[in-house]
Amino acid sequence: MEYTNVVYPLLALSQNFQASAAQIGLAISIIHTGATASRLVVIPLLKRGGRTKTTLLALACTSVVALILFALSPSLPLAYLSMVLLGFGMGGCQPRQPGP
């Protein structure tokens, strides 16, 4: 999921908006900022007994809506905004475990 949510939008940025390397780098940071925010919000909520299925469905729907908004974005700033939502949608679904 993370691969699809990151690689294809970055490719689209370079093709549709002629994004520079710096703009692609900013997009990567934006996606990961959204993912981090999601992990900081969603994981503690689920640990306190939140509704797991409902929460994961909401996150999945957020990713779908974000991808639709991204595809319809007429400008780079609006594409960036959809990438925040994209990161938020995927972040809580794929929590990272600390390494050894």
Total number of domains constituting the chain: 1
Asked if the structure places residue 98 within a domain, the reply is: no
Considering the entire predicted model, what is its pTM? 0.83
Rg (CA), the chain: 14
Asked if the structure places residue 46 within a domain, the reply is: yes
CB 99 within 8 A of CB 62: no
Asked if the structure places residue 64 within a domain, the reply is: yes
- CA dist 46 and 43 (Å) reads 5
Asked if the structure places residue 57 within a domain, the reply is: yes
Q: Which two tokens stand for residue 91?
A: 């972040």
Closest CA relative to residue 83, chosen from 40, 45, 38, 42: 38
The pLDDT tens digits for 34-63 are 999 999 998 888 888 878 889 989 998 998
Average pLDDT, stretch 70-83?
94
Averaged pLDDT of the chain:
87
- CA dist 78 and 62 (Å) reads 16
Asked if the structure places residue 99 within a domain, the reply is: no
Q: Which residues form the domain of 24?
A: 2-91
Count of CA atoms in the C-beta half-sphere (13 A) of 2: 12
Residue 95: pLDDT band with limits 50, 70, 90: low
Asked if the structure places residue 97 within a domain, the reply is: no
